[in-house]
Amino acid sequence: MSSESKSLIKAIIGLGNPGRQYESTRHNIGFKVVDVLCERFGGQWKEQNNMQSAQVIINGKKILLIKPQTFMNSSGRVMPFLQKQGIGVENILVAHDEMEIQFGSLKMRSGGSARGHNGLKSFIEQCGQDFMRLRFGIGRPDNRDDVADYVLANFTESSNEVDHLTEQAADMIEQYLGD
């Protein structure tokens, strides 16, 4: 992605499920990443339009942080609100869990399919595939039948390790926006 398109990022959406029971699950790592960015850059979460949002400045750029409150499978419902704010698909970066890469691996990618991730599928249905993603590797369960239970389970790795990786993910986004 060119530096010109990097400068177009206006919103970072963290994927997850609302509710205390999901806070520490693998599927909520996107929420954790935007929580780190919000705290790091002095944002304040506000409830509006089935989402939590916070305005921050990262590397001199005004960025809207979003946590959809519609549950994972309907995360794309935030797009009409964002579009009314003048934020299109080329202006978003989505932080999400990724089973296709090993735990702890972090990758930036533009475009691509949902790869079975229903939160991404919801975004793709709303606006197409051409948006930037931060993929946070959570690994895959040994048994394919256990996928839903796996993503909705808490991390088995230490909370310190998960927190450290979440900070690294936020660093990666910050660096991406600064390039």
The residues that are catalytic are 27
- 128 half-sphere exposure, CB direction, 13 A CA radius: 7
Among 15, 9, 11, 14, which Cα is nearest to 117's? 15
Backbone angles phi, psi at 37, to 5 degrees: -60, -40
Looking up tokens 């939590």 gives: 52
> Integer distance in angstroms from the first to the last C-alpha of the chain?
11
